[in-house]
Structure 1
Amino acid sequence: MTIKFLFFPFTHITQNQLDTLLTFFPSFHHLPVSLDFKQNQVLQNLFEQGKITPFFSSAKELEPVEQKLEQYLAWASIHKGNQVNLKSILRDTPYFTSDTHVAAIKSQIKGTQEDIVSAESAESVLQRDLLFLKMAQLFDEQNERIDLELKNLDKTRKKMVSVLRGLEEPLRKDQSDKTGDNQDFGTVMTRERISAWSGCMAQKGGIKPDGDMPLFVTTSEAVFDYLESNCKDIVNTLDIDQIKVHENCCENKSKWQHQFCDYLMGVIQGNGNRENNLPKIKDGCSFLGQIKFSYFSGNGINNLFNMSDRQIPVCLIKLK
């Protein structure tokens, strides 16, 4: 038996998330809202190396999603969310229909059409989930870009201050600001992200109610905290605040990763003393990570993951 590692609930992978995933695991599964990785050479290379197994969407699935996204962004760009302007558009533009005008798009993104969803076809539900994930992906991409620009600006500022102060007087740690810190995008619409992601994965075969249970892997503490806060039945299996991990360029990393995967398999099967069996690192690598592993169950969580009457294994991994 092998474990399938499903990275969730994000469709955009930031560089930090990618580094974290490939530090702990030799490969993982990923849901991008795209046809392929041709616009991201890094992911394309990893795909060709077998390190990422993607669940791509078809052109038929993505075309209406892209159209709705363009409509919404065009409206948002012009009207900045002004409800008066929106009502004016609806009054003056009779060719908008109940399912294509921007109000419907807003409702789909906000998830306020729950009474309509029950009557929708599986294809319509997939379209709704893909639209939300596409919006979330755009949000994450833009915020990562802003983070990187702020980080570069911060580096430039520190260099300038260092020159002005003199190299013999470097900035103290408490004098530097925090603009380079990484955001946790999982804090934004956490439940909606998980729901849309799991809905898409269920339709694409990544989640099978009667199949082998995958291991859901996240790099977001907010996502893990949300599950802990909203789950009645939790089995806390593993909680290691500091685990030594190999640097990505280390030649010993691959062997350790396979040992770590075997270790996780033992945790899932409930074998032995968990922390004592943790694979050790004895070389010069100095990276530290964190890992938490819990089983979540209960109607609310099971419905959220589209998996009924089963314990949901979720693993949080982070680099310190």
Structure 2
Amino acid sequence: MTIKFLFFPFTHITQNQLDTLLTFLPLFHHLPVSPDFKQDQTLQNLFEQGKITPFFSSRNELEPVEQKFEQYLAWASIHKGNQVNLKSLLRDTPYFTSDTHVTAIKSQIKGTQGGIVSAESVESDESVLQRDLLFLKMAQLCDEQNERIDLELKNLDKTREKMVSALRGLEEPPSEAQSCKTGDRQDFGAVMTRERISAWSGCMAQKGGIKPDGNMPLFVTTSEAVFDHLESNCKDIVNTLDIDQIKVHENCCENKSEWQHQFCDYLMDAIQGCGNRENDLPEIKDGCSLFGQIKLSYFSGNGINNLFNMSDIQIPVCLIKLK
């Protein structure tokens, strides 16, 4: 297999995203905002199995990011997200670019300091990498919290269904498969989509994950909002694949590995414009009953190239989803 799959633009992988990626792909590359996977045993196991290739950040890179991140959380805890104060400090940026120490922020709000330092005056004091990592760190926390909320709501739905079944006198409550819908309740990529892609691609470019003069990777997302954003903001699009329903193997199926390699060959042919795309779909003849969706498009133009930190090149993006 010669394609490098880059999962983007998320640094936190939800369980549903992970299930989708492992269903379609034998391995993928991932950008976590961490020096290792010690805090996530599932990802650590996949890393040891060679199914995830991470682009870790060094502790030296993360130390100033973590400091600013903790200062932001401390300030937010004190002020409970007061919108007036947030707007006066954040201006048009999603992260602090001035002195973020809690006491300094309080002084600025009270007017005891001579105004807020402009973003331009401190731009040169922060590396682009650290600023991008700071944004991704905040986005990661948001995604982690939203996933926990999703799981709690799903558990609440299951409890409610069992109670309703008991009240109605049904002999058996709805099965796990019936009561559990595939996918997250919300598309996390719908929040600050452009900023996510820009920060993610900036970090990947500096870490060598994106090389303008090297082989073009395939950018893979599980977010329909991300794919829609690219389609809406790009005038030069080549739609290569758009399959609304493709049968896939369940993650516990012994036939999955062989199918995944066939699927990767199929993607390679589609990227190179070879073969009959519909007729060449890898078949599944066992009892697996999962279905997925796949879209593959090439995006180009100054706007998209700038967003991905590239120039004068077509960017292949693939959307994969489970149904």
TM range (shorter): 0.7 to 0.9
Aligned to 1:94: none
Amino acid at match of 2:160: R
TM-score, with normalisation over the residues of structure 2? 0.86
Aligned to 1:39: 39
Amino acid at match of 1:256: W
Given the alignment of the two structures, is residue 284 of structure 1 paired with residue 287 of structure 2, yes or no? Answer: yes
- 1:224-271 CA distance string (max 9 Å, x none): 000000001000000000000001111110000000001111111111
- Equivalent residue runs for 1:50-129 within 5 Å: 50-82=50-82, 98-101=98-101, 115=120, 120=124, 124-129=127-132
Give yes or no for contact 2:16–2:184 (8 Å, CA) kept in 1: no
Count of aligned positions: 300
Aligned to 1:8: 8
Given the alignment of the two structures, is residue 252 of structure 1 paired with residue 255 of structure 2, yes or no? Answer: yes
Q: Which moved more, 1:76-85 or 1:12-21?
A: 76-85
- 1:187-232 CA distance string (max 9 Å, x none): 0000000000000000000000111000000000000000000001
Q: Give the secondary structure class of the aligned counterpart of 1:155.
A: helix
Aligned to 1:131: 134
Question: Offset at 1:43?
Answer: 0.4
Any unmatched runs of 5+ in structure 2?
90-96, 106-117
Distance 1:185 1:88 in 2: 26
- Equivalent residue runs for 1:1-320 within 5 Å: 2-82=2-82, 98-101=98-101, 115=120, 120=124, 124-168=127-171, 182-320=185-323
Given the superposition, is the C-alpha separation of residues 83 and 317 from structure 1 closer, same or farther in structure 2, using an over 3 Å criterion? closer
Question: Offset at 1:82?
Answer: 2.7
Amino acid at match of 2:2: T
Aligned to 2:113: none
Give yes or no for contact 1:6–1:216 (8 Å, CA) kept in 2: yes
Determine what percentage of the aligned residue pairs are the same residue: 88
- 1:54-82 CA distance string (max 9 Å, x none): 00000001111111011111111111233
Question: Offset at 1:99?
Answer: 4.1
Any unmatched runs of 5+ in structure 1?
90-96, 105-112
Given the superposition, is the C-alpha separation of residues 114 and 278 from structure 1 closer, same or farther in structure 2, using an over 3 Å criterion? farther
Distance 2:272 2:233 in 1: 25
Q: Give the secondary structure class of the aligned counterpart of 1:146.
A: helix
Distance 1:138 1:233 in 2: 34
Q: Give the secondary structure class of the aligned counterpart of 1:243.
A: strand
Give yes or no for contact 1:79–1:86 (8 Å, CA) kept in 2: no
Amino acid at match of 2:124: E
Distance 1:157 1:196 in 2: 40
Distance 2:87 2:220 in 1: 43
- CA RMSD of the aligned region, Å? 2.7
